[in-house]
């Protein structure tokens, strides 16, 4: 985006104007912020400046109106303005998700039991499906809510055993902008605790990660989930791999 700023220096020279730009997506989340310092070198005349701010919207950016906020500050005063534009992207606040996949079992012989994990996303409204063909012997659900199609006594000949799956769901993208007391994390339900244990790819027992988490919580008594991801991205960029 190109911003043109006109400013007049009343008396002294070498005034510095700070030009700040914020870009908010259709959910109101600030996805870009930047600032530039501009120096006024003349006295008593109007000077025009152009500042260019560059941000590329990803393909996954939401479709809708984006708000651009601009603030110019100098000598203890500031002025604000804003504008908007419409981005016609592929992802909307409500999206229809359709999933189709086919599994083929080849070779020859008999399979006593075949258990296949089924895609199942709890926060999706699923008006159609899952539709499974052929119909499984039964559907199993483990203690964590994972669903499995179970087939028994499958005979595989020269013709592959083919399993087809179809699911149509409605996804609503929304933001959770609520704060909870930090003390609430000390009394989590027992069914949640297994997911907090360290694993090969979730190193929650790493001293470096624990130190960063502790520093992020200093001086706060609540957690706001809308800021968690942004803070994590900034903090973990400083961790050296290897």
144 or 155: whose pLDDT is higher? 155
Residues 71-86 as b or e (16 or more Cβ within 10 Å = b): ebebeeeeeeeeeeee
| Residues spanned by the domain of 122 | 94-172
| pLDDT (0 to 100) of residue 128 | 59
- Mind listing the pLDDT tens digit for each residue in 82-121? 888 888 877 777 767 777 888 888 888 888 998 888 876 6
Per the prediction, the chain carries an average pLDDT of 76
Residues 56 and 104 in one domain: no
Looking up residue 67, the CATH number of its domain turns out to be: 2.60.40.10
Select from 151, 172, 193 the last residue of a domain.
172
Q: Which of 19-28, 34-43, 205-214 has the highest mean pLDDT?
A: 19-28
Q: Which residues have a Cβ under 8 Å from the Cβ of 210 and sit 6 or more positions away? A: 204
Select from 172, 189, 215 the last residue of a domain.
172
Distance separating alpha carbons of residues 87 and 71, to the nearest angstrom: 23
* Contact assessment for residue 223 and residue 183, using Cβ atoms and an 8 Å cutoff: no
| pLDDT (0 to 100) of residue 234 | 52
Number of domains in the chain: 3
Residues 147 and 185 in one domain: no
| pLDDT (0 to 100) of residue 150 | 92
pLDDT of 80 higher than 80: yes
121 or 181: whose pLDDT is higher? 181
Residues 34 and 74 in one domain: yes
């Amino acid at each position: 985006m190109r911003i043109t700023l006109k400013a007049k220096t009343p008396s002294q020279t070498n005034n510095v104007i700070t030009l700040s730009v914020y870009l908010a997506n259709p959910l109101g989340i600030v996805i870009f912020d930047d600032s530039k310092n501009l120096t006024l070198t003349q006295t008593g005349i109007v000077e025009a400046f152009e500042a260019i701010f560059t941000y590329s919207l990803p393909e996954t950016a939401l479709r809708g109106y984006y708000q651009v906020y601009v603030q110019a500050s100098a000598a203890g005063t500031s002025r604000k303005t804003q504008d908007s534009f419409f981005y016609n992207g592929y992802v909307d606040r409500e999206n229809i998700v359709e999933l189709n996949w086919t599994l083929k079992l080849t070779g020859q012989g008999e399979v006593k039991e075949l258990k296949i994990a089924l895609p199942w996303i709890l926060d999706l409204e699923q008006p159609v499906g899952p539709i499974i063909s052929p119909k499984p012997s039964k559907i199993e659900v483990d203690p964590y809510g994972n669903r499995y199609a179970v087939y028994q006594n499958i005979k595989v000949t020269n013709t592959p055993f083919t399993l087809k799956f179809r699911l149509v769901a409605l996804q609503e993208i929304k933001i959770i902008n609520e704060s909870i007391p930090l003390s609430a994390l000390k009394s989590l339900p027992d069914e949640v605790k297994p997911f907090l244990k360290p694993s090969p790819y979730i190193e929650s027992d790493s001293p470096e990660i624990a130190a960063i988490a502790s520093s992020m919580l200093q001086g706060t008594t609540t957690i706001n989930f809308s800021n968690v991801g942004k803070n994590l991205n900034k903090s973990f960029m400083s961790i050296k791999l290897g």
